[in-house]
A and B are shown apart, each in its own frame.
Chain A
């Protein structure tokens, strides 16, 4: 969605900058809605309907964009999946959490199935010990529990997003003297 945002920004910047430039030129004494513009609109019967049509298209495009943007934001949190898939996912999620917690150094796992029917996403939050062998946990997760979850749901191409959190113990004051000096 960055291209429409950039296009909107460029259009607004162009309009604002043009208006500022006009205020510094010889036209600075004229009002923005100059009588010449009103006369031109009155003399050209096509002008107002054409401008109204363009504005209508712009408004419709904006509404469509608003719906798409809103859907994206909402489906990040709540999945747009049928109740049967959701029930299956709940059962499979319990197994996934249980098996993922059995991996070494994994302390806590939370999973959520999000997205739409066409673009479902499995989002996992995994808390590991601070010195965990994260690369191995990551590989094991993908090859074992997540793969089984995909198979249970019948979604072999389900994308899984894993957010790792490292839990470190509270830092303790280290003693100053016991270590001998190095050479």
Chain B
């Protein structure tokens, strides 16, 4: 009995981990444009270099690729310190840096939902989660306006700014916090964001 329970728990944890892995794989940016651009650069550079080098190997004396004659002439007559050469070098380094930045994993497209099915991955947009938090805050009596921010790269927690027309807010902040947390419980994201409620009230 106990053994079966432990096996079930292990199995569920494994399924949950696989579901998490599937969600991360599916919702990570694919970098399709960067991949296509890099593949084109490699193909073009490799192809042109191969054609030119084969022509040179055969001592043909001609440049089969249009424009390469002028490029080789420039490379033979302009020194490293030449402004054009330096600009080309800087542009190459810049492109390399852009590709390196594009190769960073990046943040997920949306907030994945928690689940134990390894064949299912769900996601909800960050803006929808923020909107849901603001909507939940508005259900608290006395809250007049609300705005939710956060879930970004720098500010990872969910910041809910609320305004009440009451002069004495009492425990409104806790009520808003509870309402937002309850709404997040209903959505059940994979990683629950920390909720930070900031309340403004009448001071006159």
Contact = CB atoms under 8 A, between A and B. Distances in A.
Interface of A: 1-6, 8-17, 19-20, 22-23, 27-33, 41, 48-49, 51-52, 55-63, 65-66, 69-70, 72-73, 76, 130-135, 138-139, 141-143, 146, 150, 157-166, 168, 174, 176-177, 179, 181-183
Contacts of A19: 80, 85-86, 88-89, 92-93
Nearest to A126: B122
A107 B150 CA distance: 27
B120 A181 contact: no
A134 B129 CA distance: 11
B40 to A, nearest CB: 7
Given A19-B85, A69-B36, A182-B169, A159 B121 contact: yes
B178 interface: no
Interface of B: 22, 26, 30-32, 34-36, 38-47, 49-50, 53-54, 56-57, 72, 75-81, 85-86, 88-105, 110, 113-115, 117, 119-125, 128, 131-132, 135-136, 138, 141-142, 144, 165-172, 183, 185-188
Contacts of B120: 138, 141-142, 146, 159-160, 162
Contacts of B101: 9
B125 A5 contact: no
B49 to A, nearest CB: 4
A162 B122 contact: yes
Contact of A51 (B22, B53, B165): B53
A63 B43 contact: yes
B128 A166 contact: yes
A158 B124 CA distance: 21
A73 to B, nearest CB: 5
Contact of B80 (A14, A17, A32, A166): A32
Contacts of A11: 96
B144 A174 contact: yes
A76 B31 CA distance: 13
B45 A58 contact: yes
A111 to B, nearest CB: 13
Most chain B CB atoms below 10 A, which of A4, A72, A176, A182: A182
Contacts of B185: 135
A8 B32 CA distance: 15
B142 to A, nearest CB: 5
A135 B46 CA distance: 51
A38 B81 CA distance: 20
A4 B38 contact: yes
Given A4-B35, A52-B50, A179-B142, A166 B132 contact: yes
A13 B93 contact: yes
B93 A142 contact: no
A128 to B, nearest CB: 9
A175 to B, nearest CB: 9
A31 B135 CA distance: 66
Given A33-B72, A72-B32, A48 B92 contact: no
A164 B168 contact: no
Given A12-B93, A72-B32, A138-B115, A33 B75 contact: yes
Given A17-B93, A130-B132, A49 B57 contact: yes
